[in-house]
Amino acid sequence: MSDTIPDLTEKRISYTRGELRRSDLHADPLAQFQQWFAGALEGQMIEPYALSLATANAAGRPSVRTVLLRGVDERGLSFYSNYDSHKGRDLAANPQAELLFFWPDIERQVRVYGSVARLSDEESTAYFHVRPRESQLAAHASDPQSAPIEGRAALEAKFAALEARFPEGSSIPKPGFWGGYRLAPQEWEFWQGRPNRMHDRFVYRRGGEHWTTTRLMP
């Protein structure tokens, strides 16, 4: 394997796998998302439920990372993290965020903008206990998430100490600093790649109880 990066200016593919017409759109963007998400889950993609979460702090400095979608319904889209992490601090200062799914196999992208609120402690606790035991211990070990740690050994020592504190069979309590968030969508965009960069894009914007749909320039 070579470390040399090839000339990227010649690297591109043409998107040919679908199209999105206004007449295809569900009136409700959640139904549209569910249809596309079901299509993504049927394919060979490794984690189509992984998404980019963009936040910004009070000064407007942006920050982005991947998280896993853990639920979607009429209330919004939920994911879990550490409340004291970089993203947790951003969301405490500025609860607006944007989520982005890119599903290369089906040449689709979905963007969702909205406001984010913490899930109830009950909901977070219920999910925490569904996670594998090692993930529960890792949530305790990785705190404060995003803070510097002197080395891998220190992290592993923390994990080992937690394994000793919570032996197999004992219940591991959900840490107070760990839990879920839900983004309540105010805007959804559905993007279908088309040949010659003439992509199809529709944005849904909420107006009271209803959604308006607008085709956007690609």
Ligand X SMILES: Cc1cc2nc3c(=O)[nH]c(=O)nc-3n(C[C@H](O)[C@H](O)[C@H](O)COP(=O)(O)O)c2cc1C
Residues that bind ligand X (CB under 6 A): 47, 50, 63, 65-68, 79-82, 85-87, 145-146
Question: Which is catalytic among the residues 70, 197, 205, 215?
Answer: 197
Phi first, then psi, for residue 53 (nearest 5°) are -110, 115
- How far is CA 81 from each of CA 5, 31, 85, rounded to the nearest angstrom? 34, 26, 8
- How far is CA 7 from each of CA 11, 162, 197, rounded to the nearest angstrom? 8, 48, 20
CB of 46 to ligand X, least distance (A): 8
Sign of the C-alpha dihedral computed for residues 11, 108, 113 and 198 taken in this order: positive
Annotated catalytic residue 197: yes
Strand partners, 178: 82
Nearer Cβ to ligand X (8/46): 46
CB of 63 to ligand X, least distance (A): 6
State the helix-helix crossing angle for 152-165 and 133-141, rounded to 10 degrees.
120
CB of 192 to ligand X, least distance (A): 24
Nearer Cβ to ligand X (35/105): 105
Nearer Cβ to ligand X (25/54): 54
Active site positions, annotated: 197
